[in-house]
Homo-oligomer: A and B are copies of this chain.
Amino acid sequence: MEVQHHNHQACYKRVMAVHDTMDVLGGKWKISILSSLGFGKKRYSEILKEVNGISGKMLSRELKDMEMNLLIKRTVLETQPVTVQYELTEYCENLMPIIFSLAEWGTAHRQRVLAKWGR
């Protein structure tokens, strides 16, 4: 059937597209880090505190990865000792509404699960 065939094409494409996105945003911490940076520039140690549970090694690694993907910008401030600021790129700003939506859904989901299973 015509419609079925068209649907299959569209479906396949979208599955691939989502997969592309997750290649960039996958991993345990990336979206949390972006979410933190969504509130403004942050120093390395600030992110470390705000993203609960992440280790220094993973933070460096994920930051570097996202820098290469043009999602964030890294700036070294020549203070004593050195401090480093991270911020979202303009490019990445497009992504933030989606991430905020994910946050809202997560909150709602948690409430739903709590309501179902009680405490």
By the criterion CB–CB under 8 Å, are B21 and A106 in contact?
Answer: yes
Number of A interface residues in the complex (CB < 8 A): 50
Taking the nearest CB of chain B, how far is it from the CB of A110, in angstroms? 5
Taking the nearest CB of chain B, how far is it from the CB of A95, in angstroms? 6
A residues engaging B (CB < 8 A)?
7-8, 10-12, 14-22, 24-26, 28, 31-32, 35-36, 38-40, 50-52, 69-70, 91, 94-95, 97-110, 112-113, 116
20 CB-based A-B contacts, threshold 8 Å: A7-B40, A11-B39, A11-B50, A15-B32, A15-B35, A16-B52, A17-B102, A17-B104, A17-B110, A18-B103, A21-B102, A21-B103, A21-B105, A22-B102, A26-B28, A69-B113, A70-B116, A94-B105, A94-B108, A101-B101
